[in-house]
Structure 1
């Protein structure tokens, strides 16, 4: 394979990666470069939390309404098979409960989404996860972000 073909293939792979960042609550790890489409900190594809280690997190009250804010850092929408974003809650090592599903209507890269959810009435340490499911055969199947939550 020529150098030109190698570079072209790498550019195509980079362009086919959708990205997701979690802003509120703050995602595990850093948020470096999130104002630029294609940020590395928004490209996490390992369930449930992108391979990021547990962080400090936030404290919330069971039953409270809470606004989750996340960013489609790099768009990979297709009209034929539009995807979605799923906000889930639970133990990192267990089954997560879906709190909300937000459809992807083809908004551009760097779009911010807000979704109000109700924090479950459970006490302890949990994760709030946002998953981007692009439903695009040219992209990875899922992108993950998590925030650590202590429910009192």
Structure 2
């Protein structure tokens, strides 16, 4: 029984998670209110391996917006804290212009929400991708976790 409990604990710790709440991430949000949600586990740089989807949210190009993400499982490293970053790019290109380069990781609990204000680029984009990255800087966790959302940015006169 002890071996089973230890195995479960090790598996749970290995699966840190990052969820993109708003705008809505590419995958579903099943279990997002529980630490270790499978839909918040994305380890590949290319948006966690999730395929692009048609944007369902539009924003005004050049506007300030609040985006919210969740540290679904805490992997804080007190000796060398990690960080979160946010970027935007064109769908299919996987090149992201930084919107915010470094939001320091803190010892906040699992399921902590982070809301950040960003300035979107002035150039309209019919299909843009927002990417959030959690760099754990923790030798006992995966190096990074990724989440993406597909959005559109439009000019004022097209709203």
Q: TM-score, normalised by structure 1?
A: 0.91
Equivalenced residue count is: 150
Question: What's the CA shift string for 1:97-133, capped at 9, x where partnerless?
Answer: 1111211111000000000000111222110000011
The answer to whether the Cα contact below 8 Å between 1:17 and 1:76 also exists between their aligned partners in 2 is no
Task: Pick from 124, 128, 131 the counterpart of residue 129 of structure 1.
Answer: 131
Task: Give the deviation of 1:11 after TM superposition.
Answer: 3.3
SS in 1 for 2:99: strand
**Aligned pairs (5 A) from 1:101-140:** 101-124=102-125, 125-140=127-142
**Aligned pairs (5 A) from 1:1-152:** 8-9=6-7, 11-57=9-55, 58-92=57-91, 93-100=93-100, 101-124=102-125, 125-152=127-154
Task: Give the deviation of 1:48 after TM superposition.
Answer: 2.4
Q: Aligned equivalents of 1:10 and 1:102: distance in 2?
A: 31
SS in 2 for 1:86: strand
Q: List alignment gaps of at least 5 residues for structure 2.
A: 155-159
4+ long deviations beyond 4 Å: 3-7
Q: TM-score, normalised by structure 2?
A: 0.87
Q: List alignment gaps of at least 5 residues for structure 1.
A: none
